[in-house]
Structure 1
Amino acid sequence: MSYKPWAAKDNISLAILKYERFKQFMVCVFNTDETFIDDFTSYCMDGLWFGGGGFLELELLTELSGDEISCRPGVHNGLGYNWTCCSRASEHCNRNPLQSSTRPENGAGREVGTREEAEFVEVKPSVRMQMQSLASKQARRKHRNLERMQDHSSVRIEHSLNKKEEKFVARRRKKIQKSLNKLNIPCSDENKVPNIALLGSGGGERAMVGLLGSLDQLQKAGLLDCVLYLSGVSGSTWCMASLYQEPDWSTKLETVKDKIVQRLSGPAVSWGDAFYKLMQYLFQTLSDPKKLNLTYFWAAMVVTTYVKEIDERTLSGQWDQKSKDPFPIYTVIDKQCKQNNDGDPWFEFTPCEAGYSVIGAFVKTSKFGSQFENGRKIKNQPEIDMLYLQALCGSAIADGDFNEKMLWEQIKGTTDVDLQKLWIWGRNYNFLYGMKDEAVPDALQESETRDYIDAGVLLNSPYFSVLREERDIDLIISLDFSEGDPFMTVKEAAEMCKKLNISFPEVNIPNGHSEKPKDFYVFKGQNTPTVIHIPLFNVANCGGEVNIKQWWKEYTTFQGPYSAEKITKLMEFAGQNITNNKDNLLEEIRLATKKKL
């Protein structure tokens, strides 16, 4: 790795610490006598450097000539990340941007909140970065204008696909066309293949394991390569997060499945590691208390007990545009929109964008959580990691309409604490704050922050993520792992779509099927997508009504992590719903294809 000299003001030198994880850099400024002046954080975006505070005074640019400066591999800073030190950082960079404390000048000693000593790498004293004054005010103006363009391009308000998603869909259709031909479903035009969405409902670890078992059998049946979108709620997103750690997981699902099952059947994340992760999350909020919320605790101390890992990757970072897998969509809801019954509660995360599915307002996924005003980013924040995203998606307890009241009843009279002030979940900066756009409801433009929680508390299946008109879905395969009424999600989806004037088939359930559901239902309508509904426990894989109830008792939502035996058994039951209905699925895919030709 190497860097060229940078331009700035006279008689000042720089030392740069590269924060590998988020493309984030810490810049330390020194006088010519080597005394420390200041430090600040900057970010690299498309070849340009941006930052705050003193950084804008220095106006660093990249297109300059000069000798390259070698940089050696970085150090462990005690928080699990790697740095790269340039210039005389080993001698002078005593500050850690993630810590408020300073290090002794000799580089030794233990920093607050760390578990091990951090040592800076040795860098030759002769290595320096010289800086010069900027050529003109015109260069400064151009630099600021480019910065504004980058900020504004992060927010998009329109009913269309993101360009990257659009390109992926075009590539994926070629794979779907080949898959259809292998299944003896003729399709000569890749632009005429049906758009198929596979949905995984919520249901905690039951949904996580059930979705994995279902996907395994879809792959073995040759049907998985027909799927364009994979969307999940709550526990299903835990499965998705595990799968997409592996590039092209759908091409090696047997191996990936065994790896996931082995992890889920193995030891839990240690309490020390979980608590350490919580401290990392909380430290991030020290400089920004507005983002402090209970989801950090939920992620580190609860979600890790089920997924049995601390996944610090990011959604945008782990995605490859040439992926051979279905396009992933993770879903949550806007809590204030749900409670106040205004705006658009349906919120989605994809590798490209995060935003409101119904009104069509999006921000780059890597910028979700950054502070915006009137569509312009005013304070950058690192992208949320996958553990936190799984906690957002799987946080049914965060629903204040029920759980807050229940807990308040239990502690009422024992404390003077106002639970409402503490019951904050999924709080992040609102990228629509201060905007003046008629397409965006006023409520979404007026608040600086919004709270995001488990979508299952409103609808336990991610229908609205795939019902966006621009996604043009022809066939929805809904795998329902919900506890309770086996038809609640599809019935509520139909009712909500009717109110929102979104095309959805009528849902009529035969008498007695709520107690003894079958394993395969199809709902169709004129100018609507076809919806296949598959309840997890049914008369086909369980037997009679008594057996169905027994299985539900064994796999209730709120219980501890499953044993290896329970995981294996549940995967088999979920998989049977696919193997028993392979011909039915093929027929509906064939009809959807025929309808497009």
Structure 2
Amino acid sequence: MSCSPRAASVKTDGSPVEKRNIETSPCYLLTVRVIGAKNIRRADTFSHTDCYLTLWLPTASSTHFQTKAVENSKDPVWNETFHFVVQSKVKNILELSIHDEDNISKDDHLFTVFFDIAGLPLNEKVLMHFKCNPKDHEELEVEFLLCNSSIAVEAVITNGVLLSRQVCCLEYEVQGEKAKKSKQKLCFMVKGSHEGYQECNLDSEFSISPACHSAFHYVKYKQPTLDVKLPKTDLDYAFGSCVYNREEGTLKAQINSLPTKKQLLLAENHEFALYVKTEDCQNVLDVRLGYDLCSQEQDFLCKRKKIVAGALKKVLGLERDLQDHEIPVVAIMTTGGSTRSLTALYGSLQGLKKLNFIDCTAYLTGFSGTTWTMTNLYKDAYWSQKDLDAQINETKRHVTKCKAYGFSIERLKYYNRQLRQRKQDGHKTSCIDLWGLLTEYLLNDGEDNHKLSDQQQAVNDGQNPLPIYIAINVKEKYSTMDFKEWVEFTPYEVGVLKYGAYVRAEDFGSEFFMGHLMKKLPETRICYLQGMWSSIFSVNLLYIWNLSHSSEDFWHKWTQDQIIDIDEEPHLPTRPSEQKTYLQTPASPLSRAFRDVLTGRLSVAQYHNFLRGLQLDNSYLKQSSFHRWKDTVLDSSSPNQLTQTEEYLSLEDTGFFISTSSAPLLRPERKVDIILHLNYSAGSQAQFLEQSCKYYAEQGIPFPKATLSEEDKKSLKECYLFDDAENPEAPILLFFPQVNDTFRYYKAPGVKRSESEMKDGRVDISSNSSPYSTYSLTFAAKEYDELVKLSEYNILNNQHLILQGLLSAVERKKMYKK
């Protein structure tokens, strides 16, 4: 029996995925005795609360446990005991929530205590008093006992931040007689499994055995339970350890109590027989857990370095070949701006091509409109080795064409067919996919079957810079200032930077559980990714507010839950990986409604979450790689709500946070030495650069102090060189704002315009009446040509600064021997 739909785990090159980071770690038995509470706050003004408490430890159980409700008492006493099997290597945060029972309306949630069990001593009872509101002497009394479990050790795989636990497969088989035809069905559920819920109809012809055969994949040591809803007939037989409820027609089995590796008759009657079989799955992951570069990118860099070394020797006029440690890693970083950035990037690359600088670069990053340019370029496996005129002219034809046909009846029918097919393939669809299909029409004559993994052909020999596309993962009911996670896309992998988790580009969008590929879906066509990278439908009111204000503090006071760290007695000895105990008080119903309005997005692109089921390592907050990108309100206080618990990734244009694609270049593993920052954003050309500098400074990520004077902001030059000598770890930055400066007077570097040519230099890229609005999808032919020429000129006219930056990067490499 294969425990995973994928028979073998292989790399892109066909070789097996290596087993790595495997550890053995003990499981413990946690006993929680909920004793009582004192001076509980009122939920209403007419009576004391009817309190009950819920326990939620998602890393150990998929069930919310609940005490009885104590009526009309501010000092409820429960004295109820609950048991959990916990993995010691996992960050186990127990949530203790107090609720007020209400028979008429929804129960009121008063508060939740988040308690990290890592601080508990082993084999010693601890009576804890959580001071929920010291002013009113409100407290919660709970007794804990953490002791050795009958489960000695569990094999886990970790990168220090995310952890994969042992997964098992429960196969079930329903057999029956052909003569018996029933309109009834069996309903199966394993909470916390990948599949969750399944049904088996009993109205089929039972001529072929098995009549119904399927499986559940679950975490072995997470107290898994099989619940079966039976037809309204008695069972003649049920396995000894099963609990059969005749009145409710349910059968419950503790899965770990079943014998393994052999088929077992679980239950039967005169209509059907239910057989089950459990088996361990292979401990080889299809998600790569690690912050290092994948082997394919490392191979690419080895090949690319040879090309870069030769190009640098030529453009810098060096007398000798560069040694391996002297070769700087050069990257081109672009920003978005719809058709404006699509067009302008062609001009910039044309200029870099004419100066032989593209061969000096290792990476090309983009989001929003520049991803349209990049995906067009990488259809040609050798685009950077050729003249770009053909590409520029072909794109011009599409930019200048009438867009009305994109909304024709025939085209709308095509969109409908494509979306139906995408849904049938197992993907979740939204209006962002429709936007992706529209971009397909904007950039192509017909259907574009190009996929991200196809671009491997353009980099496998190191012949072009490696393209990196970027998006952010967001969360419902949170603004991007409060929650966002950088997600990068390369032809080899897709990954979330903060967690150090990556999947093959071919597998992105497929269904995963605990690091295992469960269901392979067809790879997403590039047009749908373009729609997500350049989404215009993910805007919310808080984003609009931030366009004119520098802070969300006012809105936070109205919308956020209150989360504070609280005292507890006794004060346990602090452990290295232990987190503080937090108290969360929900916002009022009015504030929650206000928050929904402010943070609600029209749509986000949702893809199956390849982190689903993975758990946080107990020491995740101590890992420098995680801390580098730790910037959400949930990272420390609410780890149970982070991305590994979500069914889908919710992805949107990074411009809804900062208009930059630089984050992947600042991964220390890439060792980028110099960045050519090509800015195509609308509005202030300095704003997003300043925001980036501030953000990276707050994160402790080396980045140059790119500060422009007030005089420069009023009259920007074509290029600025920022080299932070005090911080050698920070890359050198060449900033190219999108301006029309000397181009007004020069048609080429050093070649002045004649009187009759002066009109050609009047390219309006900044006024309110500019034809290059972010929302303009169509340019006139002249407008397209002028923007391409301007962007090319700004590169050519600053050759000296690019050479200066490259030479400084080489000298740095020689000095520090990176």
Pairwise same-fold verdict (TM > 0.5): yes
Task: State the match for 1:316 in structure 2.
Answer: 453
Task: Give the 3-state SS of the residue equivalent to 2:607 in structure 1.
Answer: strand
What secondary structure does 1:483 align onto? Answer: coil
CA distance in structure 2 between the partners assigned to 1:219 and 1:164 by the alignment: 26
Residue by residue, what CA displacement relative to the aligned partner does 1:317-342 show, whole Å, maximum 9, x if unpaired?
Answer: 23221141100001111122872656
CA deviation after TM superposition for structure 1 residue 561, in Å = 1.4
In the TM superposition, 1:229-244 aligns within 5 A as: 229-244=363-378
Which segment drifts farther, 574-583 or 253-262?
253-262
**1:493 pairs with 2:692:** yes
Answer yes or no: is the 8 Å Cα contact 2:537–2:601 preserved in 1.
no
Report the counterpart of residue 594 of structure 1 in structure 2. 811
For residues 320-331 of structure 1, what are the structure 2 equivalents within 5 Å? 320=457, 321-331=460-470
Q: CA deviation at 1:266?
A: 4.4
1:280 matched to 2:280: no
> Out of 523, 535, 556, which is 1:395 matched to?
535
Q: How many residues align?
A: 456
Aligned-partner Cα distance in 1 for 2:281–2:393: 46
SS across alignment from 1:301: helix
Partners of 1:204 and 1:394 within 8 A in 2: yes
Deviation at 1:521, TM superposition (A): 0.7
Q: 2:773 aligns with which of 546, 556, 574?
A: 556
Structure 1 or 2, whichever has the larger Rg, is: 2
CA shift in 2, pair 1:565/1:307, >3 Å: farther
Query: Alpha carbons of 1:319 and 1:546: their partners in 2 closer, same or farther (altered >3 Å)?
Result: closer
CA distance in 2, matches of 1:155, 1:595: 36
For 2:715 and 2:445, the matched residues in 1 are separated by: 34
Partner Cα distance (1:591, 1:386) in 2: 38
Provide closer, same or farther for how the CA distance between residues 298 and 552 of structure 1 changes in structure 2, counting only shifts above 3 A: same
2:610 aligns to what? Answer: 431
* Structure 2 contact 765–771 (Cα < 8 Å) conserved: no
Aligned AA (2:502): F
Q: Does the 8 Å CA contact 2:364/2:468 hold for their aligned counterparts?
A: yes
Alignment map for 1:534-553 (pairs within 5 Å): 534-542=736-744, 549-550=766-767, 553=770
Q: Which structure has more strand as a fraction of its residues?
A: 2
Which amino acid is the alignment partner of residue 345 of structure 1?
E
CA distance in 1, matches of 2:765, 2:493: 40
Mapping of 1:69-468 within 5 angstroms? 148=282, 152=285, 154-183=286-315, 184-185=317-318, 186-254=320-388, 255-266=390-401, 268=403, 270=406, 271=408, 272-273=410-411, 275-286=413-424, 288=426, 291-301=428-438, 304-305=441-442, 310-320=447-457, 321-336=460-475, 339=479, 345-401=485-541, 423-438=602-617, 439=620, 442=639, 443-468=642-667
- Paired residue type of 1:300: L
Mapped contact 1:523–1:531 kept (Cα < 8 A): yes
Distance 2:281 2:528 in 1: 29
Aligned mates of 2:280, 2:453 — CA distance in 1: 23
Following superposition, the deviation at residue 400 of structure 1 comes to 2.7
* C-alpha distance in structure 1 between counterparts of 2:544 and 2:506, whole Å: 31
Determine the C-alpha separation between the residues in 1 that align with 2:441 and 2:763.
34
With normalisation by structure 1, the TM-score equals 0.69
SS at match of 2:777: coil
Change (3 A) 1:569 1:388: same
Cα RMSD of the aligned pairs, angstroms, is: 3.5
Decide whether the 8 Å contact of 2:540 with 2:600 is kept in 1.
Answer: no
TM-score by length of 2: 0.51
User: Which structure's residues are more often helix, by fraction?
Assistant: 1
Task: Assess if the C-alpha contact under 8 Å between 1:314 and 1:383 holds in 2.
Answer: yes
Q: In structure 2, what is the Cα distance between the partners aligned to 1:333 and 1:160?
A: 20
Give the secondary-structure state (helix, strand or coil) at the position aligned to 2:710.
coil
Which residue number corresponds to residue 126 of structure 1?
Answer: none
Check the 8 A contact 1:333/1:455 in 2, yes or no. Answer: yes
Deviation at 1:555, TM superposition (A): 1.0
Equivalent position to 2:712, from 513, 525, 542:
513
User: 1:149 Cα deviation (Å)?
Assistant: 5.9
The alignment partner of 1:330 has SS state of strand
* One-letter amino acid of the counterpart of residue 438, structure 2: M
TM-aligned CA distance change 1:342 to 1:299, over 3 Å:
same
1:377 is paired with a residue whose SS is strand
Aligned to 1:113: none
Cα distance in 2 between the residues matched to 1:506 and 1:422:
34
8 Å Cα contact 2:348-2:795 kept in structure 1 = yes
Aligned mates of 1:351, 1:244 — CA distance in 2: 10
Q: State yes or no: 1:580 paired with 2:580.
A: no
Whole-angstrom distance in 2 between the partners of 1:202 and 1:484: 12
Deviates more, 1:261-270 or 1:172-181: 261-270
Counterpart residue type for residue 437 of structure 1:
L
Question: Aligned-pair distance for 1:537?
Answer: 1.5
Structure 1 residues 354 and 274, CA gap change in structure 2 (3 angstroms): farther
**8 Å contact 1:372–1:433 — kept in the other structure?**
yes
Q: 1:589 to 1:307 in 2, by over 3 A?
A: farther
Once the two structures are superposed, residues 282-312 of structure 1 have per-residue CA deviations (whole angstroms, 9 ceiling, x without a partner) of 3322474x71322111112356336665422
Query: Contact 2:368–2:535 (CA<8 Å) still a contact in 1?
Result: yes
Q: Hey, what's the Cα distance between the residues in 2 that align with 1:368 and 1:145? A: 27
Question: Structure 2: any 5+ residue segments left out of the alignment?
Answer: 16-168, 174-260, 263-277, 547-595, 621-625, 627-634, 746-760
Deviation at 1:347, TM superposition (A): 0.9
Q: In 2 relative to 1, CA 473–309 (structure 1 residues): closer, same or farther, beyond 3 Å?
A: farther
